[in-house]
């Protein structure tokens, strides 16, 4: 098998460009992969929705019976693929790795590859909804793979491990082969010193061969010592190396999570994939830094929110010893409205869409599991997140679908449990093997009788430097024996269609906020850095995390600039700083220059940083300028097999689509998180924002009873309607807040319907001790 990186020398043009697949093309820009429609990216809540076309010409030399595959790391979200002017196939689904057989389309010599991509919302493609941005593009790696006629199938090796006795483990190997009957399959296990520790051989009788190997006293994969073995599979002229780890996992309803028979308290974070400048077009180097940042702060668990991440993400978790929750694309969003945009019902609202939607979900779950199966870091598969944000009429259908998807995942991988993320409404927590509770699920569910974890808490908005704060929310700081742990929302700022993506403990550009340092201090006992000072900037200190990078789209270099005074202290600055690639192949998301300022939300607290990449060989000179203050020159070398000859790579900003369906009659808090000071009936607070038979009332000993509702996005004008059982005791004091910390009091009222003109994310309603409230509804106006 030969794998050829296909990330260099692509061309891109906005629009569907009908007919360009025939080979006649004009006005395309040279780009490199990974590429996103959203480059350059500043974490916007609006983005281009439409078509973009890519083409690449390439030389290929192969034998008559070779099999040729194209492997796409992911394309968001529909890709039409043409080879040499002929249509090959269409792939629908934006987050999973897939391959296509192009053996019958390629020729020895010159070939033409054309890909038409769209990120249009679709009734039958998951996700139908989600609180994120949905930039289109070929935003992960592309590889060309050449197999001999007899070969191991693409992603055809599946390895699982189990404990059979003390210090004795079984390695089960299933290998799918093509055109190989009668040949010999040799499977060798190699330790990380390069020594062969076990070998097994089998003659091939069918296209699926199962082998078993037992090992005494193997090195186990763990968080502190993430030991990895390599399986070398040999079949005639074909060979494949697969890394794996030996470990056991167990989720228990009564005492949490166990790794290798030892209890582990999950201290985790949710992680989105988009990043400053480059949108969701991440490199392998960027993924490495993301995981290392979380590991260095003492976290041991990452929830991949809320879609399958790059296959390199799980592999990097394997290498660094980070437990990983891998999540599917069934996703809901609060205050959903009619079809047409990613704020629709999570479940289709028309029966005719049920079957194709389920088919697409299963396809994406298959692709997620098939491409990540061998990663020991993955401790569960998740169906999705908060699917209860669906139209009432299809809730029953949604839950039946979730159950079928759980069963389907069990078929694909019987070795791992299946989780439901955001299972804190509509009895979703009983549908999978593991319940993930978000937000107020931290306090509603007490010893629920199923394996569980707090999959989201925190959500505190801030830009650097922010407060020294652990982002605790009610119930998140209580460690029950029956709860496996928790995951903070979230690790990094991200783009958000709800305009509320600044909830990370690191910013979009991967610079930590003070909250990050607070967690690192708590978990690792590392000191919190000194804050920046107000003074005159005397120097710009420009550094890179390395002085060379591979020019194949998998690598980059992180460039950091610090503004300092005469004493070497970091200095706050409210103006602009300009970063410039003076010469050479290095590339910024805006080309050869990029501007940083607080207005652009990429210069805060006396620092900025940006990832730079390159595709052609040569040295680059980089400097930063702030008026008359100029940094010293930074030298970075790109290593590639093609020289830089002033190839002009351009990332043209695409127009954002600002039109979205809106409905003034949507209850914007239905099933949203609600927190109360106390309650007579445990868990009754959920009735305030969702269908629940009980009513809420505070305990008689509660001296200042209140309820607090999280919109999970910002609203400027809205009407509150309160359904109470005891109206005469309904005097209420209402307050609003942007961040949940600073509040604006709006006065006292006894009205059941109140209209408010005040931008807010949170509403706090203080009531008297005798209040009995059945439901609250809030409508945007």
Round to whole Å and give the CA distance between 402 and 396: 10
CA angle, 725 then 730 then 734, to 5°: 130
Q: 224-276: per-residue pLDDT in tens? A: 999 999 999 999 999 999 999 999 999 999 999 999 999 999 999 999 999 99
Round to whole Å and give the CA distance between 159 and 716: 53
Q: 164-219: per-residue pLDDT in tens? A: 999 999 999 999 999 999 999 999 999 999 999 999 999 999 999 999 999 999 99
Read off the DSSP letter of residue 143.
E
Round to whole Å and give the CA distance between 390 and 397: 10
Q: Residue range 649-658: average pLDDT?
A: 88
Biggest CA–CA distance in the chain, Å, is 86
Confidence (pLDDT) at 568: 93
694 three-class SS: coil
Round to whole Å and give the CA distance between 669 and 522: 34
| Mean pLDDT score across all residues of the chain | 95
Confidence (pLDDT) at 692: 76
- Percent of the residues in the chain that have a pLDDT greater than 90, as a whole number: 88
Q: Is residue 108 within 8 Å of 60, Cβ to Cβ?
A: yes
Q: Provide the pLDDT confidence category of residue 548 given band limits of 50, 70 and 90.
A: very high
Q: Taking the C-alpha atoms of 236, 242, 246 and 252 in order, what is their torsion angle to the nearest 10 degrees?
A: -120
Confidence (pLDDT) at 210: 97
Confidence (pLDDT) at 406: 98
Confidence (pLDDT) at 769: 85
Confidence (pLDDT) at 726: 58
Structure tokens at 325: 């929750």
Round to whole Å and give the CA distance between 486 and 439: 11
Round to whole Å and give the CA distance between 415 and 420: 17
- Picking from 617, 562, 545, 554, the residue whose alpha carbon sits closest to that of residue 586 is 617
Q: Provide the pLDDT confidence category of residue 657 given band limits of 50, 70 and 90.
A: confident
pLDDT at 736 over 90: yes
Confidence (pLDDT) at 750: 78
Round to whole Å and give the CA distance between 575 and 1: 53
Q: Is residue 305 within 8 Å of 290, Cβ to Cβ?
A: no
Q: Provide the pLDDT confidence category of residue 732 given band limits of 50, 70 and 90.
A: confident
- In terms of Cβ atoms closer than 10 Å to its own Cβ (0-12, 13-18, 19+), residue 740 is middle
Q: Residue range 283-298: average pLDDT?
A: 98
Structure tokens at 451: 């394996």
Q: Residue range 106-111: average pLDDT?
A: 97
What would the DSSP string read from start to end of 612-645?
A: EB-SSBEEEEEEEEETTEEPPPEEEEEE-SSB-S
Q: 511-538: per-residue pLDDT in tens? A: 999 999 999 999 999 999 999 999 999 9
The pTM is what?
Answer: 0.95
Q: Provide the pLDDT confidence category of residue 664 given band limits of 50, 70 and 90.
A: low
Return all residues near 121 (Cβ < 8 A) that are at least 6 apart.
49, 128, 134, 340, 341, 342, 344
Round to whole Å and give the CA distance between 770 and 705: 10
Better-scored residue on pLDDT, 713 or 395: 395
Return all residues near 449 (Cβ < 8 A) that are at least 6 apart.
253
- Percent of the residues in the chain that have a pLDDT greater than 70, as a whole number: 99
pLDDT at 663 over 70: no
* Backbone torsions φ then ψ of 647, nearest 5 degrees: -60, 130
Confidence (pLDDT) at 116: 98
Bridge-based pairing of strands 51-60 and 184-190 is unpaired
Bridge-based pairing of strands 629-630 and 262-264 is unpaired
208 three-class SS: strand
**100 beta partners:** 70
Round to whole Å and give the CA distance between 551 and 221: 32
Q: Strand order in 168-178's β-sheet?
A: 151-165, 168-178, 208-216
What would the DSSP string read from start to end of 571-618?
A: B---SEEEEEEEESS-BBTTBSEEEEETTTT--BTTEEEEEEB-SSBE
Place of tokens 């590639």: 640
Confidence (pLDDT) at 729: 63
- Picking from 653, 757, 667, 773, the residue whose alpha carbon sits closest to that of residue 715 is 757
Q: Residue range 704-726: average pLDDT?
A: 87
Confidence (pLDDT) at 314: 98
Structure tokens at 736: 């609003």
pLDDT at 727 over 60: no
Q: Is residue 569 within 8 Å of 594, Cβ to Cβ?
A: no
Whether cis (ω within 30° of 0) applies to the bond prior to 559 is: no
Confidence (pLDDT) at 751: 82
Q: Is residue 773 within 8 Å of 707, Cβ to Cβ?
A: yes
Better-scored residue on pLDDT, 759 or 187: 187
Better-scored residue on pLDDT, 170 or 659: 170
Q: 371-424: per-residue pLDDT in tens? A: 999 999 999 999 999 999 999 999 999 999 999 999 999 999 999 999 999 999
Structure tokens at 423: 């299972």
Q: Strand order in 262-264's β-sheet?
A: 249-252, 256-259, 262-264
Confidence (pLDDT) at 311: 98
Structure tokens at 329: 């694309």
Round to whole Å and give the CA distance between 29 and 336: 37
Q: Provide the pLDDT confidence category of residue 728 given band limits of 50, 70 and 90.
A: low
């Amino acid at each position: 098998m030969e794998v050829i990186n296909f990330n260099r020398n692509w061309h891109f043009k906005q629009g569907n460009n009908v007919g360009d697949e025939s080979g006649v093309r004009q006005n395309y820009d040279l780009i490199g992969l990974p590429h996103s429609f959203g480059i350059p990216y500043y974490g916007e809540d609006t983005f281009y929705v439409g078509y973009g076309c890519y083409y690449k010409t390439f030389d290929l030399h192969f034998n008559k019976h070779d099999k040729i595959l194209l492997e796409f790391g992911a394309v968001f979200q529909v890709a039409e693929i043409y080879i040499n002017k002929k249509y090959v196939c269409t792939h629908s689904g934006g987050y999973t790795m897939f391959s296509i057989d192009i053996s019958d389309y390629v020729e020895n010599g010159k070939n033409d590859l054309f890909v038409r991509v769209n990120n249009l919302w679709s009734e039958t493609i998951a996700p139908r909804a989600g609180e994120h941005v949905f930039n289109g593009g070929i935003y992960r790696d592309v590889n060309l793979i050449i197999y001999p006629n007899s070969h191991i199938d693409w992603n055809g090796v599946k390895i699982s491990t189990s404990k059979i006795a003390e210090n004795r483990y079984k390695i089960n190997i299933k290998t799918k082969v093509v055109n190989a009957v009668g040949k010999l399959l040799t499977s060798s296990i190699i330790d990380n010193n390069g020594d062969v520790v076990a070998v097994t051989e089998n003659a091939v009788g069918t296209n699926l061969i199962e082998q078993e190997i037992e090992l005494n006293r193997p090195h186990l994969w763990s968080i502190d010592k993430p030991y990895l073995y390599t399986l070398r599979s040999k079949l005639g002229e074909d060979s494949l190396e697969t890394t794996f780890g030996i470990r056991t996992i167990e989720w228990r309803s009564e005492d949490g999570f166990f790794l290798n028979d030892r209890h582990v308290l999950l201290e985790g974070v949710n992680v989105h994939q988009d990043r400053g400048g480059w949108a969701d077009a991440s490199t392998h180097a960027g993924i490495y830094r993301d995981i290392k940042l979380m590991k260095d702060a003492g976290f041991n668990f990452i929830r991949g929110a809320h879609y399958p991440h790059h296959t390199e993400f799980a592999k990097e978790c394997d290498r660094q010893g980070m437990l990983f929750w891998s999540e599917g694309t069934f996703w809901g969003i609060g205050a959903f409205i009619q079809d047409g945009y990613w704020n629709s019902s999570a479940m289709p609202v028309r029966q005719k869409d049920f079957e194709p939607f389920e088919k697409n979900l299963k396809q994406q779950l298959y692709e997620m599991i098939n491409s990540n199966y061998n990663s020991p870091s993955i401790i569960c598969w998740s169906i999705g997140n908060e699917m209860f944000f669906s139209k009432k009429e299809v809730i029953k259908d949604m839950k039946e679908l979730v159950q079928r998807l759980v069963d389907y995942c069990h078929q694909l991988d019987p070795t791992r449990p299946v989780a439901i993320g955001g299972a804190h409404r509509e009895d979703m927590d009983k549908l999978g093997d593991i319940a993930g509770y978000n937000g107020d699920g931290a306090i509603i569910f007490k010893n629920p009788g199923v394996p569980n974890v707090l999959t989201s808490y925190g959500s505190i908005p801030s830009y650097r430097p922010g407060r020294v704060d652990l982002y605790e929310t009610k119930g998140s700081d209580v460690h029950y024996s029956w709860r496996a742990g928790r995951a903070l929302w979230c690790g990094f700022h991200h783009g958000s269609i709800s305009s509320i993506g600044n909830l990370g403990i690191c910013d979009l550009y991967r610079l930590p906020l003070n909250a990050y340092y607070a967690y690192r201090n708590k978990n690792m006992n590392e000191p919190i850095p000194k804050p920046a000072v107000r003074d005159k900037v005397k120097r710009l200190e420009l550094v890179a995390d390395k002085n060379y990078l591979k020019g194949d789209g998998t690598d980059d270099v992180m460039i950091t600039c610090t503004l300092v005074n005469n004493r070497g202290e970091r200095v706050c600055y409210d103006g602009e700083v300009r970063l410039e690639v003076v010469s050479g192949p290095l590339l910024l998301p805006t080309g050869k220059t990029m501007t940083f300022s607080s207005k652009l939300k990429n210069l805060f607290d006396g620092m900025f940083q940006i990832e730079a990449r390159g595709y052609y060989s040569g040295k680059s000179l980089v400097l930063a300028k702030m008026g008359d203050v100029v940094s010293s020159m930074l030298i970075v070398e790109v290593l590639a097999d093609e020289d830089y000859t002033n190839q002009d790579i351009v990332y043209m900003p695409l127009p954002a689509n600002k039109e979205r369906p809106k409905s003034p009659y949507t209850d914007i808090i239905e099933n949203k998180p609600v927190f109360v000071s106390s309650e007579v009936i445990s868990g009754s607070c959920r009735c305030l924002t969702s269908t629940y038979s009980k009513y809420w009332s505070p305990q008689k000993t509660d001296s200042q009873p209140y309820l607090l509702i999280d919109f999970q996005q910002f609203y400027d004008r809205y009407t509150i309607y309160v359904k109470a059982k005891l109206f005469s005791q309904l005097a209420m004091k209402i307050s609003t807040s942007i961040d949940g910390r600073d509040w604006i009091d709006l006065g006292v009222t006894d009205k059941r319907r109140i209209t408010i003109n005040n931008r807010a994310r949170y509403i706090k309603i203080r009531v008297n001790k005798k209040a009995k409230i059945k439901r609250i509804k809030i409508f945007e106006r």
